[in-house]
Structure 1
Amino acid sequence: MPVTPTDPRQYADLSGIKIVASDMDNTLVGADGELPGEIWDIIRELKAEGIQFVPASGRQVATLQDMFAPVADGMTFISANGGLLARDSEILYSARLKPEDLGDIMTIVRDLASGGTNVGAVLIGEKQSYVERTDTAFVSEVQRYFHQLQILEDALEADDHIVKVGIYSFDGLDPVLPRLESYQQTHSLTFSADDWVDVQGKNVNKGVALEELQRILGVGADETVVFGDYLNDSELMAAGTHSFAVANAHPDVIAAARYVAPSCAERGVVQVLQHILDRK
């Protein structure tokens, strides 16, 4: 059933906004994988008004910096689903996984693969990302989100601090999740699609990273606008008083949001941001 976007006349006063944080896929980025063409000028206008635009994604920092290259200087990025908060070359916050946990998770993935499941893992670090699989199908899928990628015989040998393990299964997650059951109590498991699951430290998510940025900048939730579409955006949405679910969002995200923006296909994020700027 189609969801009707909120009439902008029902928005609260957004003139005091200091941070705009937006999810990427199916929120800002459309099905074609492209950012809306208007976003560059909008980000520049927001910056001129003292408003930080903060992309929030499961991607690595380098990928986000590539995507936003025309305006990336000085931008803050929430990457790795909240595992990293970075501005330019500076890491503002990092939620590192323990080496012993990494070893256990990789053992599970390797066991699944040796048992016939078409699965692989990518380790997302502060510097870049790492995989062991070399086949084109897997590497191509991973490189959609992780541009700086190194193939290692043993990914655990990476000289880096790892903040997230992304597990991708061509066979879906049904064979994978039972093996990760024990981690549901001790870690954060985040689902960004039907075939991707991320394993991170407990209580690591986009919302915690946004709250850390708010603390650094002295900005409150009432001065924050957030956009999202899926369950891995739930904590992000809770960190901003002015939360917008795009009309194509998961029903639970729509139910939790304060407002509904037009769909991603209708460039809903752009429409709301233009509304904010028009009233400055």
Structure 2
Amino acid sequence: MQDYTADKDLANIKLLAVDMDLTLLADDGSQPEGMENRIAALAEAGVVFCPASGRPVPTLELPFPGSAGTMAFCGDNGGNVVYQGKIIYRDRLEPELWRKVAARAVAAGDNVPVLCCYDHAVCLERDRAHFEGIFKYYKNIRWVASYDDVDDDANKISLLFPAYDAEPAFASIYQPEFGEKLYVTNAGREWVDFMNLNVSKGDGVAHLCDHLGIDIADAAAVGDTYNDIPMLERVGHSFIVANAEPHMEAHARYRVPSNNDRGVAVLIDALLAAKQH
């Protein structure tokens, strides 16, 4: 696989979409130093910086308090897209679909269902013991005894697997059972996410490009795992971090240093340097 330096058209990039966990963020959850300055420099160079994540937009905005007003956010795996504080795209799951997923998940008993409702999440009282795992991504949580009477609009339902066995559950249960009606994706070892079939990080980035008048060939994406595949395959400049699993090499053209070696920052610096020539 080619190193990121083999991309000779970095100067053409107008949008940079990056995954968060294990991509922008190091294993300890920290960002590269100087990201606020880099984001400002990107904006000055005509490049929109866009975190793209399974996290909801309100949580996605928290790490960027000084920059959020200039940025885009592709939250809920593309189900909620915001640019400079304004919603430009928002999807909605039919209750009939998410209720079937929730019922299957509750019956399985080995996971924690999280109904994602744009600015809050709805979780079951039985799962309060997993508060820390949920709160990492969802800061506003409404607890209910069951999902029977929940009528909140939602764009995603996610299952947290505390035993880190999301991948086999995704492959053997949830993709086979729900894959024809929903886009089911594995977000690392902890999460399985369910969205409408026309919702993915790739679709979210495409909506953003349409809104901004940017050719998606001039968009770049950086990722590490399954739910990044749609955006990596959609954009003109695709990168994976060195810590991505080997199967991800089939879905991107270039490799950047690992998350712990601050690969996204390295790429941004190279992009900015290319813009100056």
TM-score (norm 2): 0.90
Q: Secondary structure at the match of 1:146?
A: coil
1:88 shift after superposition: 5.1
1:181 shift after superposition: 3.0
Q: Secondary structure at the match of 1:59?
A: coil
Between Structure 1 and Structure 2, how many residues are aligned?
272
1:158 shift after superposition: 4.5
Q: Distance in 2 between matches of 1:15 and 1:86?
A: 25
Which residue does the alignment assign to 2:15? 19
Comparing 169-178 with 238-247, greater Cα deviation is found at: 169-178
1:58 shift after superposition: 0.5
Q: Secondary structure at the match of 1:147?
A: coil
Write the deviation string for residues 163-197 of structure 1: whole angstroms up to 9, x where unpaired.
Answer: 11011123434567536632111111110122311
Q: Distance in 1 between matches of 2:242 and 2:182?
A: 30
* Letter in structure 2 aligned against 1:147: K
Write the deviation string for residues 40-67 of structure 1: whole angstroms up to 9, x where unpaired.
Answer: 1100100111210000000011101112
**Structure 1 residue ranges without an equivalent (≥5):** none
Question: Is structure 2 residue 42 aligned with structure 1 residue 46?
Answer: yes
Q: Distance in 1 between matches of 2:24 and 2:232?
A: 15
Q: Distance in 1 between matches of 2:82 and 2:199?
A: 15
Answer yes or no: is the 8 Å Cα contact 2:174–2:184 preserved in 1.
no
Once the two structures are aligned, what percentage of the paired residues are identical?
A: 29
Which residue does the alignment assign to 2:199? 204
Q: Distance in 1 between matches of 2:102 and 2:268?
A: 42
Which residue does the alignment assign to 2:140? 148
Q: Distance in 2 between matches of 1:126 and 1:179?
A: 23
Comparing 163-172 with 179-188, greater Cα deviation is found at: 179-188
Which residue does the alignment assign to 2:74? 78
Which residue does the alignment assign to 2:269? 274
Write the deviation string for residues 196-215 of structure 1: whole angstroms up to 9, x where unpaired.
Answer: 11111113210011011111
Q: Secondary structure at the match of 1:47?
A: helix
Answer yes or no: is the 8 Å Cα contact 1:63–1:145 preserved in 2.
yes
1:98 shift after superposition: 0.3
Which residue does the alignment assign to 2:104? 108
Answer yes or no: is the 8 Å Cα contact 1:124–1:164 preserved in 2.
yes
Write the deviation string for residues 215-271 of structure 1: whole angstroms up to 9, x where unpaired.
Answer: 111111221111111121111111211111111112222233121111111111101
Answer yes or no: is the 8 Å Cα contact 1:244–1:261 preserved in 2.
yes
Q: Distance in 2 between matches of 1:102 and 1:276?
A: 41
1:242 equivalent among 227, 233, 237: 237
1:136 shift after superposition: 4.7
Write the deviation string for residues 103-162 of structure 1: whole angstroms up to 9, x where unpaired.
Answer: 22222122223xxxx322001112311111355541110111112222223345445320
1:135–1:7 distance in 2 versus 1, CA, 3 Å? closer
Answer yes or no: is the 8 Å Cα contact 1:134–1:151 preserved in 2.
no
Which residue does the alignment assign to 1:31? 27
2:117 equivalent among 118, 125, 128: 125
1:57 equivalent among 39, 53, 56: 53
Question: Is structure 2 residue 130 aligned with structure 1 residue 160?
Answer: no
1:70–1:156 distance in 2 versus 1, CA, 3 Å? farther
Which residue does the alignment assign to 1:6? 3
**Structure 2 residue ranges without an equivalent (≥5):** none
* Letter in structure 1 aligned against 2:246: P
Q: Distance in 2 between matches of 1:67 and 1:160?
A: 27
1:94 shift after superposition: 1.7
TM-score (norm 1): 0.90
Q: Distance in 1 between matches of 2:57 and 2:150?
A: 17
